[in-house]
C-alpha cells in the first residue's frame, strides 16, 4: 500500500469509548483525582450500634481494659467535686446522676473564668481545682477512654433506655386517651345530673340556689297542708262505719277502739299529741324548735383545729395526785351505833322515806312540752299510727272490692 493509499471509510456509526459513555468525557478529569485525607476522615461509617464498642477496641482506638482506667477517673472526680466554687451552672452540672467527659470539659471552661486570678505568667493556673479537672480531662483523652465510656452509654441507651421510654410514652398516650374519654363522659354525666337536679328542684318548687334555706321555707306551708289532710278525714265517715261493722261482725264485741287516732283527727282535727294523749286541751304549748330559728340560722364553719379536750383539768388534782371522785368517811353511824370506815353500808336502813318528785312529769301542769307540743301529724310516732290506720282501711276496702281502685279521702287507691 503506497503512501497515497487511504484507508477505507468505516461503515456505520463510530464505536469509540466516549460515544458509548457520553458522560465519561465530562468526568474524565475527576477520575484520576482523589480527595485529600482530611476529607476522607469526615466520611461517615455505618457501624451497628450494638457492636460500636467492639469496633473501637478492634480498631485499636480504645484498650480492652478501659473500665479499669474509668474507675480511677471516677475516684478523682469524686474527690474534685468536694471543692467547687459557688457557681449556678456548676451546681446544675453536678446535680446530674453521672458526670462524663463533656461535663468535665464544661467545668474546665467555667473554671477558666472563675479561676482567672490564679493564672500565672506562663499561662498556667495555680488553682488546685483547675489542676484537678485538667488532669481528669487528660486522663479521659488518654487512650480515648472517653470514647469507650460514651459508646457504652450510647449502647445502653439504645438497647434499654429508649425502648423503655417508648413504652412509657405509649402507656402515657393510652392513659391520656382514656382520661380524655372519661372527661367527656364526666362532662356529659354532669350535664345530665345538673338537668335532673333542676327538674327535682322544680318538682319541689324551689330554684336550687340555696337548697337548705329554700326547703326550710317550704315548711311554712306544712301546717296548712297537714290541716288539709286532717279535714280530708271527714270523707272517711262511711268507710270507718263500714270497717267497724265488718270487724264487729267477724270478731264480735271488740274491747279496744277501732282506728282511734283516725276518729280523733276526724272529730277534732290535727290537735296536739298532748290533747290526743290526755283528752284535754293544753293550757300552753312550749314548742321545742321554732321554724323561725331554723330559717334564720346560718351554717357555721367548723374550726380548723381539733379540740382534743386537753383543757379538761377538772378531775386532776394540781397538787400531784389524781382526784378519782371517791371520798371515804372515817366513821358512820348505823342504828345509833358508830361504825368504822371499813364497815360496808348495805343500805338496809329503811328509816328514811323514799320521796318521788312527780312535779316534772310531762304535761301534768297543763303545758305541752317536747313531743307533746307537736301536732299529731308532726310527731313521727302518731303520724305513723295515722298512716297505718289509713292503710288498714284501704286494704280492707280494696279486698272487698276485689282489688279494684276506690276513692279514699279524695284519692284513687
pLDDT in tens, 22-73: 444 444 444 446 667 677 777 888 888 888 888 888 888 888 889 889 899 9
Q: Which of 359, 182, 181, 376 is nearest to 275 (CA)?
A: 376
DSSP 3-state of 172: helix
Burial class (CB in 10 A: 0-12, 13-18, 19+), 119: middle
At 295-331, the pLDDT tens digits run: 555 555 544 455 565 554 444 444 455 556 555 555 4
Burial class (CB in 10 A: 0-12, 13-18, 19+), 108: middle
Question: Which tops the pLDDT comparison, 400 or 264?
Answer: 264
pLDDT at 222 over 50: yes
Task: Give the separation between CA 193 and CA 199, rounded to whole angstroms.
Answer: 10
Torsion angle of the four alpha carbons 200, 202, 203, 206, in this order, in degrees rounded to the nearest 10: 100
> What integer pLDDT is reported at residue 25 of this predicted model?
45
pLDDT at 372 over 90: no
Task: Give the separation between CA 269 and CA 261, rounded to whole angstroms.
Answer: 10
Percent of the chain with pLDDT over 90: 16
Task: Give the separation between CA 409 and CA 413, rounded to whole angstroms.
Answer: 9
Q: Percent helix, strand, coil in the chain (nearest 5)?
A: 55, 5, 40
At 125-149, the pLDDT tens digits run: 777 888 888 899 999 999 899 999 9
Q: What is the mean pLDDT of residues 97-103?
A: 85
DSSP-assigned states of every residue in 232-289:
HGGGGHHHHHHHHHHHHHHH-S-SSPSSHHHHHHHHH-S-BHHHHHHSS--SEEE-SS
Is residue 34 a contact partner of residue 43, using CB atoms and an 8 Å limit? no
pLDDT at 282 over 90: no
The pTM for the full model equals: 0.42
Amino acid at each position: 500500500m503506497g503512501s497515497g493509499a487511504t484507508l477505507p471509510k468505516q461503515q456505520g456509526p463510530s464505536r469509540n469509548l466516549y460515544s458509548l459513555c457520553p458522560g465519561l468525557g465530562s468526568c474524565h478529569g475527576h477520575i484520576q483525582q482523589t480527595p485529600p485525607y482530611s476529607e476522607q476522615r469526615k466520611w461517615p461509617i455505618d457501624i451497628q450500634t450494638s457492636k460500636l464498642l467492639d469496633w473501637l477496641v478492634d480498631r485499636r482506638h480504645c484498650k480492652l481494659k478501659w473500665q479499669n482506667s474509668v474507675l480511677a477517673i471516677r475516684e478523682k472526680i469524686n474527690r474534685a467535686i468536694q471543692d467547687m466554687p459557688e457557681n449556678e451552672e456548676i451546681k446544675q452540672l453536678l446535680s446530674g446522676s453521672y458526670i462524663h467527659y463533656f461535663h468535665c470539659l464544661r467545668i474546665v471552661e467555667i473554671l477558666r473564668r472563675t479561676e482567672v486570678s490564679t493564672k500565672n505568667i506562663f499561662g498556667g493556673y495555680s488553682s488546685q481545682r483547675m489542676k484537678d479537672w485538667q488532669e481528669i480531662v487528660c486522663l479521659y483523652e488518654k487512650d480515648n477512654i472517653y470514647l469507650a465510656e460514651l459508646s457504652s452509654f450510647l449502647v445502653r441507651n439504645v438497647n434499654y433506655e429508649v425502648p423503655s421510654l417508648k413504652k412509657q410514652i405509649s402507656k402515657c398516650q393510652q392513659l391520656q386517651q382514656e382520661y380524655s374519654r372519661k372527661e367527656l363522659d364526666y362532662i356529659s354525666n354532669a350535664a345530665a345530673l345538673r338537668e335532673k337536679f333542676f327538674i327535682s328542684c322544680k318538682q319541689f318548687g324551689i330554684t336550687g340556689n340555696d337548697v337548705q334555706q329554700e326547703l326550710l321555707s317550704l315548711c311554712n306551708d306544712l301546717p296548712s297542708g297537714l290541716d288539709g289532710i286532717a279535714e280530708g278525714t271527714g270523707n272517711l265517715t262511711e268507710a270507718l262505719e263500714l270497717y267497724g261493722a265488718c270487724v264487729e261482725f267477724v270478731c264480735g264485741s271488740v274491747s279496744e277502739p277501732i282506728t282511734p287516732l283516725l276518729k280523733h283527727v276526724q272529730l277534732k282535727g290535727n290537735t296536739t299529741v298532748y290533747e290526743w294523749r290526755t283528752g284535754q286541751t293544753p293550757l300552753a304549748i312550749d314548742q321545742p324548735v321554732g321554724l323561725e330559728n331554723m330559717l334564720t340560722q346560718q351554717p357555721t364553719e367548723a374550726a380548723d383545729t381539733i379540740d382534743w379536750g386537753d383543757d379538761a383539768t377538772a378531775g386532776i388534782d394540781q397538787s400531784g395526785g389524781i382526784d378519782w371522785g371517791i371520798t371515804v368517811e372515817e366513821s358512820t353511824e348505823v342504828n345509833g351505833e358508830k361504825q368504822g370506815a371499813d364497815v360496808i353500808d348495805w343500805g338496809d336502813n329503811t328509816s328514811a322515806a323514799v320521796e318521788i318528785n312527780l312535779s316534772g312529769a310531762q304535761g301534768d301542769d297543763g303545758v305541752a312540752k317536747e313531743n307533746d307540743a307537736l301536732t299529731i301529724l308532726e310527731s313521727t310516732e302518731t303520724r305513723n299510727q295515722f298512716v297505718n290506720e289509713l292503710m288498714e282501711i284501704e286494704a280492707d276496702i280494696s279486698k272487698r272490692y276485689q282489688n279494684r281502685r276506690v276513692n279514699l279521702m279524695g284519692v284513687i287507691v
